[in-house]
Structures are given as structure tokens and as C-alpha cells.
Amino acid sequence: MNRRHALVTGAGSGIGKAIALALAADGHIVSLVGRRAAPLEAVKEEIHSSGGEAHVHHEFDVTDPAAVEQGISAAIAKSGEIAVLVNCAGEAPSAPFEKTDLSLWQRVLTVNLTGVFLVTQAALASVRRAGNGRIVNVASTAGLTGYAYVSAYCASKHGVIGLTRALALELARTDVTVNAVCPGFTDTPLIDGALDTISEKTGRSREEARASLARSNPQGRLVTPDEVAHTVSWLVSEKATAITGQAIPVAGGEVLGG
């Protein structure tokens, strides 16, 4: 199943970048998808320098149906049918529930949940044509439990897991599997923003804020993007053919079960 076309949204940094690099190392042709060209081009150069193949499709806004359709069509025209789809684009602003206004709520739900819906719906016919298709949605432990001050994010990630399970059942008699990975607090640029917010609101230093997040993991550390990427790499391999409809925590034991 190597040398197949994998499309990764949010591929310019953090977990999306790590997944793109891992899939390229596994031999896939990777479509790097996102809104900004510069970070995607940097990931492409890193892949090419390691002997892999990747192509950039920027101005791909997962909340814009027309942009999604155009980007999916361009990726298929460039690299063939999409055998592996990884939905990783997302954002995680924080605010107390009483200060979560409708615009913030709608933005987070639109990016994190509706974006997965739009991209998957646009790509699904291609995934089915490719044969042995794999869809992996990057959710979060926030989709399995609750966290204070990120109600919109928790709701969106619970929605992603529900969508994952529903689609997995619809496709269970096909050769397409649909799963979610659920990272705990992961050492990415997204966490940097959370550290700034915690420091601002509590007066604690960034180091103290980082330590408080690490304590939520029974292993006493932040997850690495590569650890999430390795899980995705396994899920899209032929070794995981019987795994579908699952929400797999990558969180050092913070959440048990899925």
C-alpha cells in the first residue's frame, strides 16, 4: 500500500506537519494542504530532501466549500486518486463559557467540525475509487472528556468523533476505514498559544504553565507530534484493516478507552 496518494489538511506545522513527514517516509505521495503557501513549501522541501514526493495546495480553506472542491480536484489531477485522507486543520481558542460569544463558537465549530465534513465529503468518492481507502480525523482527548475554558473546542472535537463513528459504520462493508486519533496536550505551536493565555490569566510563567499541562498526562510530559504521526501511519497501513470507527487516545494514559 506504499506509494499511494495521501492528502493532509493543516500540513504546514505541528501535528499535520509530522503526519505529512511520516506518510512521505512511508512512501506516500503527499498533498500538503492549507491556507498559507510558505509553511507548506517548507514541509515540501523537507520531504524532497529526504527523497520523498510532495505537492503544495495552498489557499485551501476548509470552511469554504468552493475552495475545498477546487483543492481536492487539483490534488487528484496532480497526484491521482486520494487513498489516504487526514483531516488535521483546526484551532483551539480558549475562553470561559460565559465569555464565549456566538462568533467564537461558530468559528471553532466551522473550522474543526464542518471543515472535516466538507473535506471528507469532497474527497470520499476519490477515496473509494482508490481502493483500501483510509480516513483519519485528528480529534483530541477533548473529544473524549471535558476541559474548562474550551467549551467550543470540546464540542467540536466530540462532534468529530461522532462523525467518525457514523461514517465508519456507513462504510463498514466497503474497503474504506474511518478512525480518529485523539492527542492529549501536544508540544506544538498550538500549545504555545495556550501557554500565553494561561500565563496572562494566572500570572504563572510559561514554564509553570507548561508543567501544569504536562501533569495532566500520567507520564508527566507533553505528547510529541511524531507520536501522533506514528499512530496515523499505522492506521493507514494494511496492518490496520480491521480497525474502523475508533477514537484512539495518544495521551500517555490520560484518557483510558475511546
Catalytic center residues: 153
CA angle 83, 11, 253 (to 5 degrees): 90
Q: Which amino acid is at 67?
A: A
Q: What is the number of residues in the chain? A: 258
Task: Please tell me the distance from the alpha carbon of residue 228 to that of residue 19, in angstroms, as a whole number.
Answer: 8
What totals of helices (H) and strands (E) does the chain contain, helices first?
9, 7
Cβ contact 258:177 at 8 Å: no
Q: Which amino acid is at 65?
A: P
SS3 call for 175:
coil
Give the H or E element holding residue 257: none
- Helix, strand, coil distribution of the chain in percent, nearest 5: 50, 15, 35
Q: Which amino acid is at 174?
A: T
Task: Please tell me the distance from the alpha carbon of residue 128 to that of residue 130, in angstroms, as a whole number.
Answer: 5
